[in-house]
Amino acid sequence: MQYFQILCILLSAVLIYLLTKIIIEKNENAISMTKIRVYENVYICSARIFACHGFGFQKN
């Protein structure tokens, strides 16, 4: 009975890995576009913070 439980755990782990890999491969383009947008937003926000605090526009 214990061998069956171990086999089921291993098979479920392999199944989850394979399904995750397939989903990531199918959505690779969307994932990369999301990463680009996040990095652009972080850059824009940091540029705004620098512009507001670096050039004397800070409200006291």
User: For the segment 12-59, what is each residue's pLDDT rounded down to a tens digit?
Assistant: 999 999 999 999 999 888 887 777 777 766 666 666 666 565 555 545
Structure token digits, residue 27: 């959505």
Count Cα atoms within 13 angstroms, Cβ side, for 3: 0
Residue 57 CB contacts under 8 Å (≥ 6 apart), including other chains: 51
Q: How far apart are the first and last CA of the chain?
A: 70
38 SS3 class:
helix
Q: Are 32 and 39 in contact (CB under 8 A)?
A: no
Q: What is the pTM of this model?
A: 0.53
